[in-house]
Amino acid sequence: MAKNIKKLLRAKGFKVMMIGLWRDNPVFCMLLGICSGLAVTNKVENAIAMGAGVTFVLIFTALTISALRNFIPARVRIITYMIAIASFVIIVDRFLQAFYPVIREAIGPYVGLIITNCIIMGRAEAFASKNKITHSMMDGLGVGLGYSYTLVIIAIVRESLGFGTILGFRVMPDGWTNWVMMAMAPGAFFVLSIYLWITRTIAGVESKE
Amino acid sequence: MNFLPVIVMNGILLVVTVLLTIADRVLINYGECKITVKQEDQEKEFVVEGGNYLIADLTANDINVSSSCGGKATCGYCKIKVLNGGGEILPTEEIFMSREEKHDNMRLACQVKVKNDINIYIPDYLTTIRNIVKNRSYDPKLRWIFNITDLKKEAEDDERFVTKLDKSEKSRVEEMVDAYRNTKGALIFILQEIDRTYGYFPENVLWYVSQLMELPFTHVFRVSTFYNAFSLKPRGKNIIRVCMGTSCYVKGGNKILHSLENKLGIKVGETTKDLNFSLDTVNCIGCCGQSPAVSVNDDIYGYVKISKVDDVLKKYK
Amino acid sequence: MGNLLTIFIAAVFTHNIALTYLLGMCPFIALSKSFKTAFGMGIAVIFVVTLTAAINWPIYHLILVPAGCELIYYIVFIIVIAASVQLVEMIMEKFFVVLQASFGIFLPLITVNCTVLAVSLFMVLRSYSYLATIVFAFGSAVGWMLAILIVAAINEKLRLVSDIPKGLRGPGIIMIIAGIIALAFLGFGGMVRIQ
Amino acid sequence: MKVLKIIIFVVLLGSFFTTLLVAINHYTTPIIQKNEELKKKRSVLDVFDISYTKENLEDIFSDNIEVVQKENKEFYLSLSREVAFGIKGSGVWGPIKGIIAFNPDFESIKGITIIHQEETPGLGGRISEEEYLAKFQGKKVFPALKIVPHGKAKAENEVDAITGATMTSKAFEELINNQVGEYLALIKEN
C-alpha cells in the first residue's frame, strides 16, 4: 500500500504536473481547478484544507459514479453527478465546521464552491463514468494530490511573503515587512502566473531532451 | 433525526426531472440521427436519439474521445473532423482551432449537437495521442507510467506508418535528413527536399522524418501545414502559380485564374485527375513589370492573356 | 434605493467577483483570448446569474427555511442552476434561433461556472432581500463581464505586438494581466461599504 | 416507461444521499453548536481579561459572567459590574464583528476584541491585533470617540489611527459610536 502511494505520488502528482501538464498533453490541465483554488491559497493551512477537501470529494465522487456507471440514465447524467458531488461537499463542509471551525471561517463559501470545481466534474465525466471502481478512486486520489500540491506550493510563496510565516511559524527575518499584496487577490494571480511560467519552461526544456 | 430534508429533496428532484422530461418531449425532438465515424483503420455507424452533444453519443458507443473538462469547451482536446452535418463552427471552439484546422472543418466534439445525420472522421495523428489515453484508462500497468517518452515510443511502435515505406524509400529519406542534420532550422530544408522529391508530403514520410529527427509528429505536421507552398496531398507534375500580387491583380490576374480553372476543370489548390497540373496562387513572383504573370514550375510567363493560356498549357501536356 | 445602488456598485467594482473573489476563472482563462467571445460569454453569464439567483431566492426562503432544510441548500441550488440552464437552452433553441446562435451556445458552459453558484451562496450568506439579491446578482455578473472584457481586450492587442516569453504565453500572461487589473480595482476599495 | 425508470433512479439517488446527509448533520450539529458557543465565551472572557484554560473555560465563564437578555440584545456582566456586548458594522472589505467591554462607569472602555474582520491584511487588518486594541483601554466614548492621525491622540476620547489604514479606522470609529450609545442607555436602566 505504502509502495503504491509512493509510486502514485511520483508518477501522477509530479510527472504529470511537470511534464504532461504543461505540454500539449490531453490528461488534465490544472487550469481547470483554479476557480476555488486561488482564493484560498493565502495561507498554507487553508490550502491544505482545500486540497484535502477536493481530494476527498474527488475520491468519493469517483466511487459513486463508477459504481453507478451502468445505471445512470443519460438524460439525468449531469444532475446525478451534481447530487453526488454536492452531497460530498456538504459532508466536507460539516466536517470542517465541526472540527476545524477556524479554517472553515477563513475559507467560508469557497468550500461550497468545490461543487463547481471543474476538476471534479471533468474526472467524473472523463474517467469515472467509464472505469472500474478501484481505478477511478486511484485516479481521484492522484488528481487530488496533484491539485493539493499546486495549491500548497502557491500558498507557501504567498504566506511567507504576505505574512512572513508558514503554517503560522515565522520564517522571515525580523526586519521583514509583510508584502501585503501577496495576501490579496492580485498576489494570487501573480504567483500563479510565475508558477506557470516556471513549470512551463521546465516542461519545455524536458521535451527537447 | 429530522427526515424532512429527504422529502423536500425528492420533491424538488421530481419537479426538476418532470420539467426536463416534458421539455425534452415538447421542445427537443430531432428524431433518430445516424452517426458515421471514420477512423484510419475502421468505420463505424450507429443510430442515436438526436439532441445530445456528439461527445456523449461517441462515448456511449465506445469511441474514446479525450476530454479533461467534461464537455465545457475549456480544454480543447476533443477535436474531430466533421465531414458533413453538425452546422457551423461556434465561437466557443474557434479559439482552440488554428486556421488550418478551421479550414478542415475540425470541431470540438463537446460543442457539436447532433440534430441530423452526421459524418465524422477522427484523424490518426489525433488517435495516436488518444491511444495512450485509452491505455491509460484501461490498462492498469500502463496507467501510472505515462509521460512524453511513452508518447514517442508509442509513435515508434506504431509500425503502421513506417512499414508502408519500402527500404529504398527509407534510405532516400534518411539521406535527406542526414544531409541537413546539423544545420540550423534543418526541418524546413528537409521538408523542401521532400517536396522536391515527391511533390507533396506523404504522411508516412513525415512520420519517418519525425522519428529520425526525434521531433514530435505534431511539430513536423505543424511546420508542414504552415507554408502555402507545401501540400499534404499529391500534386501534379506541373504546378501552375498565378500571381495575385497587386499589379498582377489589377491587370486581370484573377481573370486568368478563372480561365485556367475552367480549362483544367479544377479549383485553386486542386490537382487534375491525371496528375499533370496543380493550380495555385502566389502573392508575388517578382515580375510586376510583366504583369499579369503566371509561373509554371520554374518558367515564368509575362503579359499573359486569356487567349494565350491554351498555348502555355500545351507546352506541358 | 441608495442601499441597492451600494450593493450594485460593490458588486461591480469593490467586490468584483472575478478580481476580488477570484471566481469564474476557468472560462475566464479559456475565453479571454478574443473580445468577441468574451462579450458573448459575458452576456450569457449576466442572464444566467440573474435568472438563477431569482429562482434560488424563493426556493431557499419559501421552501427550505420554513421546512428546516438549510442543510441541503448546496444540492438544491446546483440542481436548480443545472436544470434552469438546460431549460433555457432548450427554449432558446426552439423559439429564438438567432439568440441561440449568438449567445445561447455559451449557456451549457456556464452550468458549472463558479460565479453562478457563488452568487447564490453569497445571497444566503449576506441574507439579502429579494430585490437586493437580484441587484447583487446582476451587478456581480456585470462585474465579471467587465473584468473579462478588459482582460480580453488587452490580451488581444498584446498578442499582436509583444514578444512574450514562451512559458508565459496563454494562461500565464492572462493571469498577469488579470493581476494588474485586480491591483487597479483595489483602488475602488472603500468607495462603498457592504454589510 | 423510460421516464418512470429515470424518476425512480433520481428518487432513489436523492433519498440515499439526503439520508446520508441527515445522518451526518445529526452527528455534527451538537459539535458545531458547541464550537460556536465556546467561541463566544472565549471572546467574552478575553475582553474582560479573565484568564482561562481550554479545560476550565465553561466553569470560569459561568462563575464570572452573568448573561442578561434585554430587548433581544445580549449583555455580559462581570462580577465587578463591568459590562460587555457585541458590536458589528461594515469595514472597508466586509463586515467587522467584535465585543466591547466597559468599566462600571459605563463610559470608559475596558477592552475590545475583534471576532471577525476582512480588512487588508497588514494594514486595516491590524485592528484585530491586541497591541492596537490596547490603545482603546480607558478611553471615553462620550461625547464621541475620535480616531485621530497616528501620534496625535491627547484627549480622553481620542485614539491613534492605524497608519496607512484611514478608511478602516474611520469605519471602526463610526461602528463604535453608532452602537454603544444605544446599548449603554439600555443597560444603565438596570
Here the CATH number for the domain that contains residue B67 is 3.10.20.30
Chains touching chain D through at least 3 C-beta pairs below 8 angstroms are A, B, C
The count of structural domains within chain B is 3
> Grid coordinates 514550375 are at which residue?
B297
Q: How far apart are CA B313 and CA B278, in angstroms?
A: 12
D17: nearest CB among A73, A84, A101: A84
Q: Give the structural domain span for D145.
A: 66-188
Quote the minimal CA–CA distance from C29 to chain A in Å: 8
Are C33 and B96 contacting, i.e. CB atoms less than 8 angstroms apart? no
Q: Which residue of D has its CA nearest to B5?
A: D18
- Is the model's pLDDT at C93 over the cut of 90? no
Q: How many CB pairs under 8 A join B and C?
A: 77
Please give the ipTM for the structure prediction.
0.75
Here the CATH number for the domain that contains residue B253 is 3.40.30.10
**For residue D160, what is the enclosing H or E element?**
strand D158-160
User: Would you state the pLDDT for residue B161?
Assistant: 55
Selection from B71-85, B147-161, C136-150 with the highest mean pLDDT: C136-150
As given in the structure block, the three cell numbers for residue D93 are: 472589505
Residues 123-162 of A with CB under 8 A from C: none
User: Would you state the pLDDT for residue C52?
Assistant: 93
List chain D residues with CB under 8 Å of A79. 10
List chain B residues with CB under 8 Å of A75. 20-21, 24
List chain C residues with CB under 8 Å of D21. 71-72
Pairing outcome for strands B32-39 and B118-122: parallel
Lowest mean pLDDT among A12-16, A23-27, B114-118, B273-277: A23-27
Contact A39 C22 (CB under 8 A): yes
Instruction: Give the dihedral of Cα atoms B136, B137, B139, B143; nearest 10 deg.
Output: 40
Residues 122-161 of C with CB under 8 A from B: none
A56 touches chain D (CB under 8 A): no
Tell whether pTM > 0.95.
no
Contact B90 C26 (CB under 8 A): no
Question: What is the average pLDDT across D56-66?
Answer: 82
User: Would you state the pLDDT for residue A137?
Assistant: 80
User: Would you state the pLDDT for residue D93?
Assistant: 75
- Is the model's pLDDT at B137 over the cut of 50? no
Higher pLDDT, D87 or B169: D87
C194: nearest CB among D18, D21, D94: D94
The count of structural domains within chain D is 1
- Is the model's pLDDT at B22 over the cut of 80? yes
For B154-192, how does the pLDDT look when each residue is reduced to its tens digit (9 = 90+)?
555 555 555 566 777 778 888 888 877 777 677 888 888
User: Would you state the pLDDT for residue C139?
Assistant: 94
B145 touches chain C (CB under 8 A): no
Residues 27-66 of C with CB under 8 A from B: 27, 30-31, 33-34, 36-37, 40, 59, 63-64
In a domain, D52, yes or no: no
DSSP B71-110: SSSSS---EEEEEE-S-SPPHHHHTT--HHHHHTTEEETT
User: Would you state the pLDDT for residue B211?
Assistant: 77
- Is the model's pLDDT at B122 over the cut of 60? yes
List chain D residues with CB under 8 Å of A75. 6
Q: Do B282 and B217 belong together in one domain?
A: no
Question: What is the average pLDDT across B204-212?
Answer: 80
D138 touches chain C (CB under 8 A): no
Q: How far apart are CA C90 and CA B51, in angstroms?
A: 10
In a domain, B46, yes or no: yes
In a domain, B37, yes or no: yes
pLDDT tens, residue order, chain A (209 aa): 555 555 555 554 444 444 334 333 323 345 666 776 778 888 898 889 988 998 899 889 989 999 988 888 877 788 888 889 999 999 999 999 899 888 888 887 788 888 887 778 877 877 777 777 877 787 777 778 778 878 888 899 999 998 888 887 888 888 888 888 888 888 988 988 888 788 777 765 333 22
Lowest mean pLDDT among A73-82, B129-138, B218-227, D8-17: B129-138
In a domain, B98, yes or no: yes
- Is the model's pLDDT at C192 over the cut of 60? yes
As given in the structure block, the three cell numbers for residue B81 are: 473532423
Question: What is the average pLDDT across C60-89?
Answer: 87
Q: Give the structural domain span for B175.
A: 165-226
D6 touches chain C (CB under 8 A): no
D3 touches chain B (CB under 8 A): yes
In a domain, D31, yes or no: no
Closest CA to C19 of A188, A112, A32: A188
Contact A26 B77 (CB under 8 A): yes
Chains touching chain A through at least 3 C-beta pairs below 8 angstroms are B, C, D
Contact A193 C111 (CB under 8 A): no
B95 touches chain C (CB under 8 A): yes
User: Would you state the pLDDT for residue B59?
Assistant: 73
A79 touches chain D (CB under 8 A): yes
Q: How far apart are CA B301 and CA B293, in angstroms?
A: 6
Quote the minimal CA–CA distance from A192 to chain B in Å: 18
For C105-132, how does the pLDDT look when each residue is reduced to its tens digit (9 = 90+)?
777 777 767 888 889 988 888 888 899 9
- Is the model's pLDDT at D34 over the cut of 60? yes
Q: Do B219 and B257 belong together in one domain?
A: no
In a domain, D34, yes or no: no
User: Would you state the pLDDT for residue A6?
Assistant: 56
B72 touches chain C (CB under 8 A): yes
Side-by-side strand order, sheet with D65-70: D65-70, D73-78, D83-90, D95-102, D109-116
As given in the structure block, the three cell numbers for residue D80 are: 465587578
Lowest mean pLDDT among B128-142, B283-297, D130-144: B128-142
Lowest mean pLDDT among A105-109, B72-76, C88-92: B72-76
Contact A115 C22 (CB under 8 A): no
C72: nearest CB among B9, B74, B95: B9
Contact C75 D17 (CB under 8 A): yes
B271 touches chain A (CB under 8 A): no
D19 touches chain B (CB under 8 A): yes
User: Would you state the pLDDT for residue B311?
Assistant: 85
Higher pLDDT, B211 or D4: D4
| DSSP H helices in chain C | 2-9, 25-31, 35-58, 65-67, 73-95, 97-102, 107-110, 114-125, 130-161, 171-186
User: Would you state the pLDDT for residue B164?
Assistant: 63
DSSP D17-56: HHHHHHHHHHHHHHHHHHHHHHHHHHHHHHHTT----TTT
In a domain, B104, yes or no: yes
* Residue B228's pLDDT band (cuts 50, 70, 90): low
Contact D14 B9 (CB under 8 A): yes
In a domain, D57, yes or no: no
As given in the structure block, the three cell numbers for residue B160 are: 503502421
| DSSP H helices in chain B | 4-26, 54-60, 91-94, 99-103, 124-138, 148-157, 159-163, 167-180, 186-198, 203-213, 217-226, 246-250, 253-264, 309-315
- Is the model's pLDDT at D58 over the cut of 60? yes
A100 touches chain D (CB under 8 A): no
For D64-79, how does the pLDDT look when each residue is reduced to its tens digit (9 = 90+)?
888 888 777 788 888 8
In a domain, D38, yes or no: no
In a domain, B36, yes or no: yes
D15: nearest CB among B1, B2, B10: B10
Contact B146 A16 (CB under 8 A): yes
User: Would you state the pLDDT for residue C59?
Assistant: 92
Top residue of C193, C194, C195 to mutate, by most chain D CBs within 10 Å, is: C193
Quote the minimal CA–CA distance from B90 to chain D in Å: 32
Amino acid at B110: C
List chain C residues with CB under 8 Å of D17. 75
Contact A193 C179 (CB under 8 A): yes
Are C138 and C46 contacting, i.e. CB atoms less than 8 angstroms apart? yes
Quote the minimal CA–CA distance from C4 to chain A in Å: 23
Higher pLDDT, C90 or C45: C45
* Residue B145's pLDDT band (cuts 50, 70, 90): very low
- Is the model's pLDDT at B215 over the cut of 80? no
Pairing outcome for strands D158-160 and B277-282: unpaired
User: Would you state the pLDDT for residue A26?
Assistant: 25
Q: How far apart are CA B167 and CA B157, in angstroms?
A: 18
Query: Omega of the bond prior to B234 within 30 degrees of 0, cis?
Result: no
Distances (CA, A) of C151 to A98, B223, D71: 40, 30, 51
Mean pLDDT of all residues belonging to chain B: 75
Mean pLDDT of all residues belonging to chain D: 83
* Residue C195's pLDDT band (cuts 50, 70, 90): low
C40: nearest CB among B20, B27, B91: B91
Question: What is the average pLDDT across B83-99?
Answer: 77
Question: What is the average pLDDT across D98-113?
Answer: 86
Contact C167 A201 (CB under 8 A): yes
